[in-house]
Homo-oligomer: A and B are copies of this chain.
Amino acid sequence: MRYSHKLSDAVHILAYIEIYHEGDLSSTAIAQSIESNPGLVRRLMAALRSAGLLATQQGTATPTLTRAPAAISLLDIYRAVEPDATLLHVDDKTNPQCIVGGNIQDTLRVAYDQVQRAAEDQLAAITLASLIADIWHRQHEKERGDA
């Protein structure tokens, strides 16, 4: 609610579809896992579909990934669901008559682009496959701990 959880929820959806691919993949079932509502799930799935990451069929709860999880990066998902994919934002209303106000926008844009690139490089290095593997790893550790 406060900050955007769209990336987190989108990863959740994709991981859910992979892990429960034999089970109920309805937006209602996924929404229960996210503790959210089916409308939000369907909206995120629409964004993932537009980005070419997900295939769906209207009327049936049969979503499938279009690529192997190892070929889907966090950056792919991030760009799919965040319309404004920039992490830092320049104040685009500064006084052009002032030495600072007249130049700082371009100055900061270059600086922020460098930060953005560093973050995106890291996002690109993390695959959905590695996230799913980590989820399984944590799950197995829990089950071992319970025994």
Contact = CB atoms under 8 A, between A and B. Distances in A.
Interface string A98-134: 1111111011101100110111011100100001001
A34 B101 contact: yes
B138 A91 contact: no
A68 to B, nearest CB: 18
Task: Give the interface SS of chain A, mostly helix, strand, loop or mixed.
Answer: helix
Copies in the complex: 2
A93 interface: yes
Contacts of A94: 12, 33-35
Contacts of A117: 122
A36 B94 CA distance: 8
Nearest to A116: B119
Interface of A: 1-5, 7-9, 11-12, 15-16, 19-20, 32-36, 74, 84, 87-91, 93-95, 98-104, 106-108, 110-111, 114-115, 117-119, 121-123, 126, 131, 134-136, 138-139, 142
